Chains A and B, each alone.
Chain A
Amino acid sequence: MNIRQAIKMAFKSIRGNKGRSVLTMLGIIIGIASVMTIVSVITGSNQKTMEQFEAMGTNKVNVSASRYDGRNVFDDLYNYCNSLGGDLVLGVTPSSQFSATVVYGTKNSAVMDKNQQNMWNSNGNGDTANSTADLPPTMYFGSDQYAICNNFKIGKGRDISQMDIQRYAQVCVLGARAAKIFFNYANPVGQTMQVNGLPITVIGVYEEKDPDSQWSMDNIIVFPYTSSRYLAPDTQMTDFIVKASSSSATTEVISRLTGYLGGIITDQNGYFSVYSDNEWQQSSNEYATQMSLILGGIAAISLLVGGIGIMNIMLVTVTERTREIGIRRAIGAERRSIVIQFLIEAAMLCGIGGMIGIIIGYVGSLIAGKLLLQMIVWPAPWITACAFALSVLLGILFGIYPAAKASRLQPVEALRAE
């Protein structure tokens, strides 16, 4: 008997017992649908996180260093970072955050600070999703390489230049959301804002890269780091971002910087830290994998129960069809043919259940993705393929015992069965 014949016979047998077949498949359907939904939603949520990491810029090494004695390590560290070379490093920028009052027309960052304060006070968790109030921009001192290091692209005007840094120029570049907040749809380039009372000219606007979140990485204003001298004289320039050329270069840069800083700063005279977002990314990835395994594992238990259900029904089927098995053996079926027939029947039962489960899993992923993540989660092809393979495998696995039992029946004994 060939496989095609066996498949045809299995179809007939499944169709002949529709009600029972559907009940048998139910365990597999529920199991596959829940495994698919859970794995898809976790994968989708991880993907979303990864996209945010991607937007922030990958292979970014954050360096922070200062000494308690107030000795300036900025110049030495900056020079050292720049000396790491083009193969390892794509860009270096100071990245010190500072606070200042920014005013343009009726817009005032001090008012926005209050908005934010009120929001925290009213709902306590800083959830701004439903708020239309403007939030204050974050201000940074940076170099001409701030954009490279943070994955920004200039959308309007120009970026900060070496010349701006050397001349202590009173200029700034806005993130897309900051531009929207202060200038709405007008072109900010060439306009002058008041920062801590000083006139600062907007020379450029970065392209938007994170449109969804109101805590946006686009809500920033970047100034040449040399302007700290008059904008925020008290700000300690302790932080840098080094953009490495690859993930392996990131590791190398971290080890070199740690070595260098360890040579000039000790626990007694200061502190330093060197870390990369890659580590966050990696641990976030690992976390997602673990969640997938744990929750997927729990869902897989229902698959196991479904599999046992299949085995149970197949055993009942073997008992019910003992006479048929006897007839088949009497007219020449080999044991192998009987095993194949029952195995294929179990595999098909699970396979069909798996396919229905996959369809429900798709719908479940879409609904759960929309409700939990506010995004469209579409199960990856590998998840679908694995789910189908798993269901067929379960059928074969749990079909082996009943099939073997059927094939061991002696023709004479089987023919006597009622």
Chain B
Amino acid sequence: MLIELKDVYKIYSEGLESEVRALDGVSLTIDRGEFVAVVGQSGSGKSTMMNVLGCLDIPTHGTYLLDGVDVKELTDRELSHIRNKQIGFIFQQYNLVQSLNVLENVELPLIYQGIGADERRELALDALDRVGLLGREKHKPSEMSGGQQQRVAIARAISTRPPIIMADEPTGALDSHTGHDVLHFLQDLNKGGSTVILITHDNGIAATARRCVRIADGKIVDDQAQEVDWL
């Protein structure tokens, strides 16, 4: 079992009148190599779920075992290492560092791994090649289209070759054609053995995954395998 959530709560302002239960007793397991779509409306708790799964946030109650390790027991430094080596993030807003060029953005997680300049460059160029952006290394994010920026973000996510890819509304800011390319790429990554977790509000997009977890008001309301809409 790669990911195991046991009765996980994420509660803001706990005990106060303004208490919000973003995750309300969620239990979920995800195996290595799965492609899971987490679907829910805005405010359903799906982004909180991704933050918890991505070790960006710690659950208020409950247990999250990542590869058998209880995340709650880890130090801030160990959590950083997990985010760096185990997880590749793809965000809706790309989240590229605007002052760095394409190559430097893709190299960033490798820098934090302490990889030497030559190897780093090689890995980053390989990732850029995979997303079809070779030759654009020196461009700044602001000089690229949304689709291209998202491809840079994907290159950054896969440059460290992490076992898990987490994509939070990766097509949200893209036109349908470009969004299609991104989803196709995620399917390819999954075929290559990566575990992919896709967070979306769109049922059409969720149809690209082999398993669909529906979430509403912080609770899982449906979880089943589905026919894949191969792109």
List B contacts of A330 (CB < 8 A).
54, 56, 83, 89, 95
Q: How far is the CB of B57 from chain A (nearest CB, A)?
A: 5
**Interface-centre pick from A2, A12, A331 (highest chain B CB count, 10 A):** A331
| Binary contact track B97-126/A, C-beta < 8 Å → 1, others 0 | 111100000001101111000000000000
Q: How many of chain B's residues have a CB under 8 angstroms from any CB in A?
A: 26
Instruction: Closest A residue to B112 by CB, please name it.
Output: A332
Known: A1-B111, A12-B99. A332 touches B51 (CB 8 A): no
Q: What does the 1/0 interface line of B41-72 toward A look like (CB < 8 Å)?
A: 00000000001001011000000000000000
Query: Nearest B residue to A327 by beta-carbon distance?
Result: B95
CB distance from A240 to the nearest CB of B (A): 76
In whole angstroms, how far apart are the Cα atoms of A2 and B97 in the complex? 19
Q: Is the CB of B81 within 8 A of A335?
A: no
Chain A nearest CB: distance from B177 CB in Å? 27
Whether A329 and B80, one on each chain, are in contact in the complex, defined by CB atoms closer than 8 angstroms, is: yes
Knowing A331-B83, A331-B156, A332-B85 are in contact, say whether A412-B51 is a contact too (CB < 8 A): yes
Q: Which residue on A lies nearest to B57, using beta carbons?
A: A412
Asked if B76 and A332 make an inter-chain contact with CB atoms under 8 angstroms apart, the answer reads no
A2-19: which residues lie under 8 A (CB-CB) from chain B?
2, 5, 12-13, 16
- Assembly CA distance A226 to B35 (angstroms): 117
Chain A contacts for B83, CB-based, 8 A: 329-332, 411
Residues of B close to A331: CB separation below 8 A? 83-84, 89, 108-109, 112, 156
A363 neighbours in B (Cβ, 8 Å): none
Say whether B111 contacts A5, CB under 8 Å. Answer: yes
Q: With A12-B100, A16-B99 as known contacts, state yes or no: A334 contacts B112, CB within 8 Å.
A: yes
User: How far, in Å, is B119 (CB) from chain A's closest CB?
Assistant: 14
The residue in chain B whose Cβ has the minimal distance to the Cβ of A5 is B111
From residue B180, how far is it (CB to closest CB) to chain A in Å? 26
> From DSSP, what is the main secondary structure of chain A's interface residues?
helix
A134, B80: Cα distance in complex, Å: 84
Which A114-156 residues have a C-beta within 8 angstroms of B?
none
CB atoms of B77 and A335 under 8 A apart: yes
Report A-chain residues with C-beta under 8 Å of the C-beta of B113: 332
User: B80–A333 contact, CB under 8 A?
Assistant: yes
Distance to closest chain B CB from A316 (angstroms): 16
Residues of chain A with a CB closer than 8 A to B100's CB: 12
- CA A72 to CA B91, docked complex, whole Å: 105
Which chain A residue shows the least CB distance to B84? Answer: A332
Rounded to whole angstroms, the CA-CA distance of A402 and B97 in the bound complex is 20
**For the complex, is A90 an interface residue (Cβ under 8 Å from B)?**
no
Residues of B within 8 A of A2 (CB): 114
- One digit per residue, 1 when the CB lies within 8 angstroms of any chain B CB and 0 when it does not, for chain A 334-369 equals 111100000000000000000000000000000000
How many Å from the CB of B48 to the closest CB on chain A?
9
State whether A337 touches B89 (Cβ < 8 A): no
Residues of B within 8 A of A334 (CB): 76-77, 80-81, 112
Distance in Å: Cβ of A114 to nearest Cβ of chain B: 79
A323 to B95, CA, bound (A): 8
B76 touching A335, Cβ below 8 Å: yes
Complex Cα spacing A331 to B80, Å: 8
Distance to closest chain B CB from A12 (angstroms): 6
Alpha-carbon distance A16/B101, docked complex (angstroms):
12
Known contacts being A332-B85, A334-B77, is A1 close to B112, with CB within 8 Å? yes
B178-201 Cβ-contact flags toward A at 8 Å (1 or 0): 000000000000000000000000
If A333-B84, A415-B95 are given as contacts, then 7 extra A-B residue pairs at C-beta distance below 8 Å, sorted by A number, are A12-B100, A324-B99, A330-B89, A331-B84, A331-B156, A332-B112, A334-B77
* 20 A-B pairs whose Cβ atoms sit less than 8 Å apart in the complex: A1-B111, A1-B112, A2-B114, A12-B100, A327-B95, A327-B96, A328-B97, A329-B80, A331-B108, A331-B156, A332-B113, A334-B76, A334-B77, A334-B81, A335-B80, A336-B77, A337-B112, A411-B57, A412-B51, A415-B91
4 closest residue pairs by CB, A with B: A332-B84, A332-B112, A331-B109, A334-B80
Chain B interface (Cβ < 8 Å from any Cβ of A): 51, 54, 56-57, 76-77, 80-81, 83-85, 89, 91, 95-100, 108-109, 111-114, 156
